[in-house]
Every structure is written in structure tokens, then in C-alpha cells.
Structure 1
């Protein structure tokens, strides 16, 4: 039996299916991160508009708001064939960008991005459900932590690769690279060995089936506080994101210095993801999430201090603390949701957690010009610390005992 002292990566790679899922996450996140940056640069080159370039990120995020409806697709059939089909469909969709070479065809690029985002919502819901079926429960925390590490790690490497490829060969080359990663991810998914029970015929009205995932989250006493805390955290993260460049200005640094802060935050997230599995086993879902939110809140508050070492330390702490509630919520949803509902519950959870981030970005852009860093950042920190305290008041989740007994 694997002991809790074994490194999370070793624990996961010893499980064949978990290792295949993680490898698939590596290649698909690499391609997606490279494409995300290249699309903005592509639009900027075609139009010269910063606003249109910024809309690329909105186009990718927009389908998240339809998560509960899109998540129903993840529960309609076997998830492994669906994931293979979604990866291949994403690859084919990206090939449409080969025709998007002029400002007159900018609509095609944005249409592809919206479709790309919609396929991604269904993919994430189906993958979350299939992982819960294929990966041993004792490995879920380790796996989700490592997947967060992969996601953040790719943000450190892939954008530079995408930018270099774009500079040398243009946006079409980056689209081809991303399409190739999806084909490879489809092959890795095909190699996963998991027996899925035939899906039950859909019952009830379409809207009722769509709402079942959100209803399950709301009625479950363990999932509801985690998802709500995740939504509050991501709302604050969105508002705080608008303070990045004012914080850079307070240091007397040029705007490009924001890249350094992003890199430091990414490194913190990589470290936090590696520690997530052991921390979840020892603390439980709620306390692990509360500790991360508390660290994130303290880091946001001290970022108002215009001292470079303090701001750098704050960025690292944000990277460690922010993913905790995301990992805890995802793991709890996988563990506490019946198999027939996992796709809808995962998609609803993503909408409730990540949807507020979009609102936060807009609110932060409005507030940052009215309230200075010395007012806004400590206020955000106070909200986050209060959220952590409320979450920590609850007793340890039953999953903690179960996780420890299976370790």
C-alpha cells in the first residue's frame, strides 16, 4: 500500500490511468496556453486594437457561463469516447484558423475561440467525471494538485513558446501546434482503461436535468460552503487582478515588470499544487481551503506595501494560496457526487466558482481608479480572511477521515 510519505508525483504515476490523464493534461494545457497568448497578439497585429485583443480572453471564458447546460452533455453517454471526440473536434476546429489571415475574417477567429471555449467546458466536465471513476479515491487530491501544477507550469513555458513560434511563422503555426496537442491528448485518453456503465436514459425536462448538478451542490452540506467560498475567492481575485499594474507603478517599475510577478506567482502555484495532496489528507477539504484562502487574503493585503521584496513575496503567496480552494472544491465534487451527476455537478461548480472572476475583473477595473491600493487591497484581504474564518468554523469534512483511511 502506498504511504502518505511518498511524493505525490510518484503516487500518481504508479497508477497507470492517473499517469495517462496527467500526461494528457500536460500536452493539452501546453497547446492551450500557447494559443491563448498568440490569439491576442494575432488580433493586435491584424487590427492594432488593444480592446479587440483583450476580447480574445472574454471569448474563451464566455462559454463558462453556460456551464450547467453544457455539462449535461458530459452525463449523456460514456465519457471516455466523449473525451476522445472532444479532443479531436478541438483539433479540427483549430484548423479553421488557417483561413483567418486578415482583419476581414476576424469574426472567424472569435467564432473559433467561442467554440474552443465551449468544447473546453464540456471536456473539463467529462474529464472530471471520468477521473473520479478511473483514479483511486486516495489519489484524487494528489492528482488534482498535480493537474494544477501542470496548468500553472505550462503558463510559465508555453506562452514563450507560442510567442516565439508566432514571431517566426505566424498564428497559423501556433494553431497547428495546439491542434497537434489535442490529437496527442486524444490518443492518451484512448489508452485509459476504465469500465463505464451504460448511461441511464435521460428522464425529465431538459431544464430539470440541467439544474440537477447545481441542485446537488446546493443541497450537499459539504460541497455548498466550498463552492460558495471558491466563488467569493475568485471574485476577489478578479478585482485584485485589476490592481496589478498600479502595484507595478508603485514600485517605480515599467509595465513589463508585471511578467516577473506573474512568473513568481506561477512558481508559487507549482509548489502549492505539489503540496496539495498531502495537505488535503491531513487537513481535510474545508480546512485546506480555508488555509489557502487565508494565505491569499494576507498576501493581497500586503501587496499594498510599495516595497519590492514584499510585493514579490506577496505574489508567491498568492500562487500558493489561491489554488487551494479550487483543488479542494474539485476534489470534493468528484468524491461526493454520484457518477450519474458528476458531469453536470463539475460544470455547475466551474460556473459558480469561475464565473465571478469575470465580474471581478470588470468591478476591479472600475474601482481601481476610484480607490487607491491602500484602501482596495486591504479591503479585499479582509473579505478573504473573513471567508476563510467562516469556512474554518465548520467541522472537518467527512472526506478527511475517508481520505486518511485510504492512504
Structure 2
């Protein structure tokens, strides 16, 4: 951690991401709550997350773009574009405007998948191998730490005065993050992609298929994200039907999840190099399998404990997965590998989210939680035999940083 903070670009990037995540956390939860307030429907509130996942399904395109252009200028313009997009939410004030929220969340998901792929690749160029785990852990811990404050603040603002302050804050944080990324002094070379576009488009999935560790991570992720897709709309039902609280109370559960994320992130940072990425991912999946049944208890304290465990689970899985990708993939493929994994995982997640939203109109949430637990136990199986880490592939020589303009790579 100390070594990471001594790295100038790492400090700036982490601070920029903290600002962006602060706005994202408030908006993500806030739009679901706003739709619930406008419509009174758990199903329509859950579809906010479905719209985001649908946008994220453009990940293969985003991954190819992340490998086609220099990542620093790409992240600058992605932040500015996101700031413009979220401002459209300012006009969504009536039930008939819900489609605007869905449309913006779709764009949010599409740009978000591009940013994640570009960020994963940028970190691999910006930092030495020994700092990658710390960087992923720090970003994930910061994200979860901000969830302690921003969700409940966002939920409170929406319940009090509506979504306008939350939307404007998120837009401002995107602009600040874009300016901060522009100040990085990272030196990166453009990546040559001279092959047929279809070959380049599918290169990430081919690398996953040929790399045992990534192949098993993909299988575990596909299975686990079915359960995580079901949990998003289920949380609204837990708040309304299990705890008998109003929709903004979901912000309290997100705070518990954020505290768990902080603890999970700090613990992951301390033990990842000792136990490896595989065990970290496996531990996160098993932690969620323990937490989900606890959510069936219609009492506040057990539910808060379960959300704490889920927060720790999310962080450990994300840290382990990102580090595994960075250490098992050549730099010129990282964007497409990250996008291919995200795409393959998010398809079942999106289908599960839509299915869960529909089922909650007909069945109680408790049987769904039991099903999710069984699914997570199945997801742990592929991670039991992931091979030990291999030496990281050699990276291309860096070139001087360019001005913040999106320039295509040359052959």
C-alpha cells in the first residue's frame, strides 16, 4: 500500500476514481429507488439494473476499443461523455419518464464496460507487477468505503428533494475524474491491430480458451453471476416484505455492504500475495453462499450481517479476478480479455436479473435466496483447481505520452 501511494500517477488515478465512484454509488442506487417511488413496483425498480446490464453487454466492442486506442485519452473522453449522459436524468420526474432512466442506465452500462476494460489495461502499463494487487485492492476498498456514505446520502436526497442533486453531483465527479486522468504522466504506446476485425474482436475469448486459469475463472463467474443477478431485485423485496421498510431504507443495507467491502478489501490486500488470486476468488464465492441464506431472516441485524459478508465477497472476487487477468494476459490483449470475461458473465447475470424481477411479482423472495445459495456452491467448484501463477508476459516498450486526444493505433 505504501509503495502504491508513492507512485505519482497511482495516487492521482485512485483519487480520481474515488470521486467518480462516489457519484456512481449514489446514482446507481438512487435511480432504482426513484423508479420505485415513481411506480411503486419492485419489478420496474429492478429493471434499472437490467438496463445497466444490457448496456454492459456491449463489452466486447468496448474491449476492442480499449485495445485499439491509447487508454489514457480514452478514459478522459469516456468520463466527459458520461457527465453529459447522466444530465438527461434531470427530466425524468414522472412515471411516464421511466424509459429515460432505463435509456441512460443502458448508456451508463455501455460506457462503464469500456472504462473498466481500459482501466484494467492502463493499470498493467502504469504499474509494476508487484503493485497490481495493491492497486486493485485499493480501488475496490475505496469503492466499498464510499458506499458507507454515498448510498444513504443519495437515498436521503432523493426521498427529500428528488434526484436532481444526485444527478448533478455524479456529472461533476465525472468531469473532475476526466481532468485528473488528463494530468497523468503515464507513457503508453499505441497497440497495433493489423488483422481482420473479426479476429481482433474474438482475440480476447481465444486467449481465455487457451489459458486454463482464465477459462476456469470464466466458468465460475458465469455460474456465480446468475446468483448475483437474482439478488439485485430481491433486495427491494427484502426491504419491503422482509423488513417492512420504505424503499430508501435500502441505503442502510448498502452501508452495511460498504463496511464489509472495506474490511474485505483490507484483508485481501494483506493476504492476496500469500494465498494467490484463485483462493481469494474462491473465498469470496463461498462467503456469499453463507450470506444469502441469512437474508431469509426477517430481522434487521441478521440482514445487516449478511450484507456485510456480501460486501466482503464482492471485493475479494473482484480483486482476485482483475489481478488474475492482468497477470495472465499480454498488455495488448487485456482490454479484450477483460471485456470478453465481462460479456460472457453478464449475459447470464442480465437474464437472471430480468427473471428475478419477473418472479418477484409471483413468488416470495425466500425460495429465490435458497436457489441462489445452491448456484454459488456450484460456482465454487471450477476454482478448486486453478494452476499456480505463471510469469507475467513481457510488455511492449513504452512510448512518450500523447496529448489527450483519442488517436487510433497505427500498424
Query: Shared topology, TM-score over 0.5?
Result: yes
Distance in 1 between the 2:343 and 2:306 partners?
27
TM-score normalized by the length of structure 1: 0.83
For structure 1, which segment, 126-135 or 273-282, has the greater mean C-alpha deviation from structure 2 after superposition? 273-282
Distance in 2 between the 1:166 and 1:244 partners?
18
Match of 1:272 among 264, 271, 281: 264
Please name the residue that 2:228 is paired with: 237
Match of 1:296 among 288, 292, 317: 288
Distance in 1 between the 2:44 and 2:144 partners?
25
Distance in 1 between the 2:239 and 2:42 partners?
20
Please name the residue that 1:225 is paired with: 216
Matched, 1:21 2:4: no
Match of 1:340 among 322, 328, 332: 332
Please name the residue that 2:380 is paired with: 388
In the alignment of these two chains, the number of paired residues is 390
For structure 1, which segment, 210-219 or 51-60, has the greater mean C-alpha deviation from structure 2 after superposition? 51-60
Distance in 1 between the 2:42 and 2:369 partners?
26
CA contact (8 A) 1:68 1:214 kept: no
Note closer, same or farther for the CA distance 1:258–1:186 as it changes in structure 2 (3 Å cut): closer
CA contact (8 A) 2:23 2:150 kept: yes
1:139-192 per-residue CA deviation (whole Å, 9 max, x = no partner) reads 211221222222223333223333455566654443322221111101111122
Secondary structure in 1 matching 2:184? coil
Which structure 1 segments of 5+ residues have no match? 1-7, 401-407
Matched, 1:191 2:183: yes
Tell me how large the CA RMSD over aligned residues is.
3.2
For structure 1, which segment, 109-118 or 130-139, has the greater mean C-alpha deviation from structure 2 after superposition? 109-118
Please name the residue that 1:125 is paired with: 117
Distance in 2 between the 1:299 and 1:30 partners?
25
Matched, 1:215 2:206: yes
1:62 Cα deviation after fit: 1.4
Please name the residue that 1:3 is paired with: none
Note closer, same or farther for the CA distance 1:192–1:386 as it changes in structure 2 (3 Å cut): same
Note closer, same or farther for the CA distance 1:249–1:117 as it changes in structure 2 (3 Å cut): closer
Which structure 2 segments of 5+ residues have no match? 393-411
Distance in 2 between the 1:72 and 1:319 partners?
30
Please name the residue that 1:79 is paired with: 71
Note closer, same or farther for the CA distance 1:14–1:315 as it changes in structure 2 (3 Å cut): same
Note closer, same or farther for the CA distance 1:125–1:40 as it changes in structure 2 (3 Å cut): same
Distance in 2 between the 1:101 and 1:244 partners?
24
Match of 2:22 among 27, 30, 37: 30
1:366 Cα deviation after fit: 5.9
Note closer, same or farther for the CA distance 1:318–1:161 as it changes in structure 2 (3 Å cut): closer
Note closer, same or farther for the CA distance 1:44–1:75 as it changes in structure 2 (3 Å cut): same
Distance in 1 between the 2:157 and 2:238 partners?
31
Note closer, same or farther for the CA distance 1:162–1:384 as it changes in structure 2 (3 Å cut): closer
